[in-house]
Structure 1
Amino acid sequence: MLTTTTLKVLEPSELDETLALLRREPVNNAFVTARVQASGLDPWRLGGEMWGWYQQGRLESLCYAGANLVPLCAGPEAIRCFADRALRQGRRCSSIVGPARPTAALWSALEPHWGPARDVRPYQPLMVTEAVPLDIPADPLVRRIRKDEMDLILPACVAMFTEEVGISPMAGDGGLIYQSRVAELVGSGRSFARVENGRVVFKAEIGAATAHACQIQGVWVTPERRGQGLSETGMAAVLRYALTEVSPVVSLYVNDFNAAARASYRRVGFQESGAFMSVLF
């Protein structure tokens, strides 16, 4: 019996306990919840480890440690334990990302050892909606990307990622991991785009999906078509898919300096509800 505070790597036998904790904050935790549900906490399928912090024998906090380091439901003592383990293990992640408060605390502990980061985005508004917009028409040309259209969608995904993150996802391993993730989204029917003359001019994905909430990611409009309303009508179309086929709540997070995107999302019904933070290496 665990009687004080303990940190351990969670195992498949602790799946129900883990999911119960994640359900406390279903919108904040959608990305990790989706990974946990798909993997059953098997480390190979999870793509990393799930660290659990126990207090008086009860699981109270989590930290996903894979390509991203993601602290969830974590107070100061749990953050100290997560930071200690991360320092002992050494940096294996390409980013630290998650709800702003625990992520900022974790980065504060790790920065003297892992810094400087390539980029720190301390305030990324989390935006949420539960309704299809009534005054923005859904673009009828936005559709699911088919499995045989990887060559069509991949260049747009690479352009979006490079613009957003500042480096190409094709670096390092030649893009194998990134292409696999794009293929996973296409194969699961969660990749959407408007295609004109054989080119993607708008795209977005439902990146994480649970029964309680899903998260839209990778919203992108080709540069020469920006300012024409494609992002709003395109998002209205993706929202219709998400709310009718996936989950009752849709979220996304956006850089605070991207005023145009924030305004566009507000016009289709998103409201700010908290914030995320990202530390990019």
Structure 2
Amino acid sequence: MTTLGGTGVHAGQETPMVRPLGTADTVALRLLCERHPVANVFLSGRLEAARSADPSDLGGTVLGCFSGRELCAAYWIGTNIIPVQATPETNAAVAPALNARPRRSTSIIGLSGPVLDLAERLSAWGRPRWIRADQPLLQLGGPPLIEPDPEVGVVQPADFETVFRASVEMFCEEVGISPIAQGEEGYRARVGQLIGRGETFARFTDDLGGWPRPGSLRQVLFKADIGARSRTVAQIQGVWVHPHRRGEHLAAPAMAQVVLQTRRRFAPIVSLYVNDYNTRARRTYERVGFEQIDTFATVMY
């Protein structure tokens, strides 16, 4: 397992200076993200789209940690907190600012060591709802190793409602709460955005082995989304197989098709992260050709 890149701050050095980033920091932030393109794909993608580190362009705040004039770490602050090239030293510098403001973020996501260390320092945030400390970060930079499923394709807007229902089920199963518990509007917008950009893949079926739903026979058999992407990396999220058809070895060929299409249309490297205990999924991704390059963690509040 390889950890790529590092920062310029080490134990014993002066405490990093923390401030919000702006337009003048755009190049420095881009170079920081490039130290680990796979781990930092979320912020890299945002930065590429906005072409600026200004909060009004990025759609969220980024706190930067500086060692002298060098940007040595950054923290995306939005619905999630996503550390970029963080260390215990930069976490110690940024934690007081996070503890001093009301918590609006629901999770911390990123490389395991920095994420778990940061969570320990956020005393004002209360006890996390759950901690997933070992999520292998996988990548595939070539063609899939198995034959793709040709029935998996890009979801069209006409299938929004069917895919939306499957997305809700996937989220409930993965996170343990409903994404529409406080209202549907936000989650519907997110699903619609992914479909509109051609970033959701699915295979549909009219036969779930005797498990039709009232009012509609057409169901999602398999789905996956591109949750984040840059010019070089696309991160797959939201992988789901209908519960009534699991164990039929459908996921590996379906994922192979997602990899094939994603590499053709978006980025040469396809990545994802998976819970360490999900041995079935890990075997599936291994069959497709994914290899572990690092470890993520997710802390949810």
TM over 0.5: yes
**Match among 166, 170, 179 for residue 176 of structure 2:** 166
Q: Provide the secondary structure at the position in 2 that maps to 1:123.
A: strand
Q: Provide the secondary structure at the position in 1 that maps to 2:64.
A: strand
**Match among 82, 107, 117 for residue 119 of structure 2:** 107
**Match among 182, 189, 192 for residue 180 of structure 1:** 189
The answer on whether the counterparts of 1:4 and 1:57 sit within 8 Å (CA) in structure 2 is no
1:74 alignment partner in structure 2: 86
1:54-73 aligned at under 5 Å gives the runs 54-73=66-85
| Structure 1 residues 114-171: Cα deviation after superposition (integer angstroms, max 9, x where no partner) | 231111101111011112223x221111010112321121001111011000000002
The answer on whether the counterparts of 2:137 and 2:294 sit within 8 Å (CA) in structure 1 is yes
Q: Provide the secondary structure at the position in 2 that maps to 1:157.
A: helix
Q: Provide the secondary structure at the position in 1 that maps to 2:95.
A: helix
The answer on whether the counterparts of 1:48 and 1:64 sit within 8 Å (CA) in structure 2 is yes
Give the structure with the higher percent helix.
Answer: 1
**Deviation of residue 48 (structure 1)?**
2.2
2:48 alignment partner in structure 1: 37
2:37 alignment partner in structure 1: 26
**Deviation of residue 42 (structure 1)?**
3.9
1:126 alignment partner in structure 2: 137
The answer on whether the counterparts of 2:148 and 2:257 sit within 8 Å (CA) in structure 1 is yes
Deviates more, 1:116-125 or 1:6-15: 6-15
Size of the alignment, in residue pairs? 276
C-alpha change, 1:69 and 1:4, in structure 2 (3 Å) is closer
Structure 2 residue 160 is matched with structure 1 residue 150: yes
**Deviation of residue 34 (structure 1)?**
1.1
2:205 alignment partner in structure 1: 196
| Percent of residue pairs bearing the same amino acid type | 39
Q: Provide the secondary structure at the position in 1 that maps to 2:100.
A: helix
**Deviation of residue 4 (structure 1)?**
7.7
Looking at structure 2, the residues matched to 129 and 277 of structure 1 have their Cα atoms a distance apart, in angstroms, of: 20
**Deviation of residue 234 (structure 1)?**
0.6
Looking at structure 1, the residues matched to 15 and 177 of structure 2 have their Cα atoms a distance apart, in angstroms, of: 43
Consecutive unaligned residues in structure 1, runs of 5 or more? none
2:9 alignment partner in structure 1: none
2:108 alignment partner in structure 1: 96
**Deviation of residue 41 (structure 1)?**
3.0
Structure 2 residue 241 is matched with structure 1 residue 213: no
Looking at structure 1, the residues matched to 293 and 116 of structure 2 have their Cα atoms a distance apart, in angstroms, of: 18
1:13 alignment partner in structure 2: 24
